[in-house]
């Protein structure tokens, strides 16, 4: 661990521990199907405590970002991974294209929607915007064996709006239309529902063309506001 990461993690641990709420932690863990233990911090408290821990620290370098993210992923309590997602989002303009390897490691480790979704829609999205050649890696993820990489590929354009590469959005969704996993099916519906705010006609056409292959969940989510 780098000196920067060591200092930040020491501060963060102290800041989080002082706000620990054992009662809330039980409910938070249950909400996440008991996948991870929690400190019991609300998002507002977690972010306020993180601000305290970050006070006076310099802007991180790419190695600092990797060290902090991996250190957070090594912690048991889920709030540390959630902090890392916020931290990477804030500094997404710092790393170069090679950082996508680190992000892939985070996506496929201690995986659940609460970390995968911000990594997809903010970190991967930001890296691909700044380094367009990375889209070929995302293409590979769209047919990966890991459901979280597939979900990331489908969702990474969620906030692109008019800049959405529709061939890829619709192509990824069509390719995984029959996928059996809930999180992939939900991602398809979510991505299409968001894009329908920009081009409802295109989404209607896609849903009509693939109605026999898309799951009821994907169809219902995609058409929710049409």
Give 73-122 pLDDT, tens digit per residue: 999 999 999 999 999 999 999 999 999 999 999 999 999 999 999 999 99
- Average pLDDT (47-75) is 97
* List of residues 6+ apart from 16 with CB closer than 8 A: 39, 41, 46, 49, 77, 79, 80
Residues 203, 89, 74, 104: what is their CA dihedral angle, to the nearest 10 degrees? 50
pLDDT per position as a tens digit, 188-211:
999 999 999 999 999 999 999 999
pLDDT per position as a tens digit, 147-198:
999 999 999 999 999 999 999 999 999 999 999 999 999 999 999 999 999 9
Query: What does the alpha-carbon distance between residue 40 and residue 146 come to, in Å, rounded to a whole number?
Result: 29
- The closest of 62, 69, 124, 120 to 96, measured between CA atoms, is 62
Query: What does the alpha-carbon distance between residue 50 and residue 68 come to, in Å, rounded to a whole number?
Result: 13
Q: How far apart are the first and last CA of the chain?
A: 49
- Average pLDDT (42-47) is 97
Domains in the chain, CATH or no CATH each: 1-95 (1.25.10.90), 97-225 (1.25.10.90)
Number of CB atoms found within 10 A of residue 51's CB: 10
Task: Provide the pLDDT for residue 2.
Answer: 75
Q: Where are any strands of DSSP class E within 94-221?
A: none
Task: Provide the pLDDT for residue 77.
Answer: 98
Query: What does the alpha-carbon distance between residue 98 and residue 58 come to, in Å, rounded to a whole number?
Result: 22
Q: Is the pLDDT of residue 24 over 80?
A: yes
Task: Provide the pLDDT for residue 224.
Answer: 93
- Average pLDDT (5-9) is 96
- The pair of structure tokens assigned to 140 is 């590979």
Q: Is the pLDDT of residue 1 over 80?
A: no
Query: What does the alpha-carbon distance between residue 71 and residue 6 come to, in Å, rounded to a whole number?
Result: 9
- The pair of structure tokens assigned to 121 is 């829609």
CA pseudo-torsion sign 168, 174, 180, 182 = positive
Query: What does the alpha-carbon distance between residue 142 and residue 199 come to, in Å, rounded to a whole number?
Result: 22
Number of CB atoms found within 10 A of residue 211's CB: 10
Backbone dihedral angles phi then psi of residue 61, each to the nearest 5 degrees = -90, 175
What's the Cα-to-Cα distance from 91 to each of 74, 88, 140, 196, rounded to whole Å?
Answer: 20, 5, 25, 29
pLDDT per position as a tens digit, 85-99:
999 999 999 999 999
């Amino acid at each position: 661990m780098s000196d920067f990461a060591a200092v930040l993690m020491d501060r963060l641990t102290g800041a989080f521990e002082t706000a620990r709420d054992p009662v809330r932690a039980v409910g938070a863990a249950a909400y996440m199907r008991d996948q991870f233990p929690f400190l019991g911090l609300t998002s507002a408290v977690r972010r306020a405590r993180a601000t305290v821990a970050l006070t006076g620290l310099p802007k991180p370098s790419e190695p600092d970002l990797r060290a902090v993210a991996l250190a957070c992923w090594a912690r048991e309590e889920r709030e540390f991974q959630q902090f890392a997602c916020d931290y990477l989002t804030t500094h997404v303009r710092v790393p170069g294209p090679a950082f996508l390897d680190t992000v892939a490691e985070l996506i496929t480790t201690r995986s659940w929607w609460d970390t995968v979704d911000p990594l997809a829609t903010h970190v991967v999205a930001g890296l691909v915007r700044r380094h367009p050649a990375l889209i070929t890696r995302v293409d590979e993820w769209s047919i990966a064996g890991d459901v979280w990489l597939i979900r990331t590929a489908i969702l990474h354009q969620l906030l692109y709006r008019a800049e959405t590469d529709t061939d890829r959005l619709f192509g990824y969704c069509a390719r995984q239309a029959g996928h059996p996993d809930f999180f992939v099916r939900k991602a398809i519906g979510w991505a299409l529902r968001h894009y329908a705010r920009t081009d409802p006609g295109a989404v209607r056409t896609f849903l009509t063309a693939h109605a026999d292959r898309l799951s009821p969940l994907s169809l219902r989510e995609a058409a929710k506001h049409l």
